[in-house]
Amino acid sequence: DPLGPESYYCSMFPARTYVMRRESLLRRMALRGRNSGFILFLAHGESPINYPANAYPFRQDSNWLYFLGLGLPDMIALMDLDGGKTLLFGDEPSSDDLVWTGPRKPGAELAESCGAVYGGSIRAAEATIARLAAKSASIFHPPYCRAETKDRLASLLPNSRGDQDEALLRSIISLREIKEDEEIVELEAAVESSAAMHLALLSALKPGWTERQAASFVAAKALSEGCAQSFSTIATLSGHVLHNQPGDAVCGSDGFFLLDAGAERPSGYAGDLTTSFPVGPR
């Protein structure tokens, strides 16, 4: 990874960037009549394939990345709409954990890197949220797509789904849809890496390759660019079949190939390009 392994665990941008984003969110919420209460942000957790230690590639929640910037799983953040303070919660790794993950910054340093205050362990977060709920404090939260994250939300707010209202949704959208200069740099880098994936296959693809070989070639190119794939690659001779997954179809010299693939930076910013071209030398 040209950005260094720390890039997956620490804030991609300076702490001030995340502070300013959260301050902007606070102002937008106030304009929509939300002057008190709390916003609950949840990081995604690992998603096991067939046993706990064998998980799918980790991808952080996008709203979490935007407002906190940390690529680590299993963290909680609580933002006070009245005072603007953001508490970051997460368990400190044990020595057994560190054998598998390598060194990791302690919670206080992680919080400092995104302009938050370390609030303690996940158990401390659960106790804090329970106290707020007992006082009937408003706890807003963005929508979540992952089942495990939804389960955690339900465990934190067992008597309520929380206040996922239009004010928060519109406030987040109004922030995220306008890209900052440093975001544009990341987006352009992601698109350049995506283009490199397409150009590499355009040059390399020959009759006799299977769709699966082409997809593997593209995946390797993404890794060589320091990126993940931003979605499941479509590499196919049957471009008329939408979302066709790569198979064992063999490319012929008269074939026409479609590639829909993109690179995702460690920051979460991604490219998405589609090209189609003859398999042969034309």
**Residue 206: predicted pLDDT:** 93
pLDDT tens track for 1-41 = 334 444 445 668 999 999 999 999 999 999 999 999 999 99
pLDDT of residue 2: 38
Q: Give the separation between CA 199 and CA 202, rounded to whole angstroms.
A: 5
Higher pLDDT, 29 or 100: 29
Could you report the per-residue pLDDT of 181-237, keeping only the tens digit for each? 999 999 999 999 999 999 999 999 999 999 999 999 999 999 999 999 999 999 999
Residue 269 has pLDDT above 90, yes or no: yes
User: Which residues sit opposite 273 in a β-bridge?
Assistant: 261
Provide the whole-model pTM. 0.90
Lowest-pLDDT range of 146-150, 209-213, 239-243: 239-243
pLDDT of residue 122 exceeding 90: yes
